[in-house]
Amino acid sequence: MVVYQGSEQKADRVFHALADTTRRDILKRSLQSENSVSTLALNYPMSFAAVQKHVAILERAKLVTKRRRGREQLVRGDDATIRYAFELLQKFETVWQDRIDRFGDILTDNQRRGVS
C-alpha cells in the first residue's frame, strides 16, 4: 500500500483527534446535530476554553466545521472525513486479512508436505 506524504499528515491529524475520549464524544454529538461550543461545554467537567481547544483539534483534522451565528460558534460533524477514516481503516484491514490468508496458505502447504 502506497501512502503519500500529504495523506499521511491528514491521517495523523484525524487519528490524533480521534485518540481522545472527549473529542470522540464531541464529534459524536456534532454528527447528531449542530451544537454551540457553549452547549457542548456543559457536558464536560472542564473549562469552556478546554472544550474550545478540543473543538479546534477536531476542526484542524476536518472532523468538524464551525460557523458563526451571532456570538455563538456552531459545530457540526463532517461526514466526509469520517468516511475517509473508515476507508483508511478498511485498507489496513485488507492488508492484514491478506497476510492472515497467506499465513493460512503456508500452514496448509506445510501440512501437505509433512513439515511441522
Spatial neighbors of 34 by CB under 8 A, at least 6 apart, are 74, 75, 76
Cell numbers standing for residue 43: 457536558
Q: Reply yes or no on whether the pLDDT at 116 is more than 80.
A: no
Q: What are 25-36's pLDDT values in tens digits?
A: 999 999 999 999
| pTM for this predicted structure | 0.76
Domain ranges across the chain = 5-113
**CATH of 5-113 among 1.20.1530.20, 1.10.10.2520, 3.30.460.80, 1.10.10.10:** 1.10.10.10
7: left (phi over 0), alpha (psi -120 to 50) or beta: alpha
Coil, helix or strand at residue 58:
helix
Q: What are 8-19's pLDDT values in tens digits?
A: 899 999 999 999
Q: What are 48-102's pLDDT values in tens digits?
A: 999 999 999 999 999 999 999 999 999 999 999 999 999 988 987 777 776 676 7
* 113 pLDDT tier (thresholds 50, 70, 90): confident
Spatial neighbors of 1 by CB under 8 A, at least 6 apart, are 91, 95
Q: Reply yes or no on whether the pLDDT at 1 is more than 70.
A: no
Residue 115 confidence (pLDDT): 67
Residue 6 confidence (pLDDT): 60
Can you list the alpha helix ranges (DSSP code H) found in the chain? Answer: 5-18, 21-32, 37-41, 48-60, 79-113
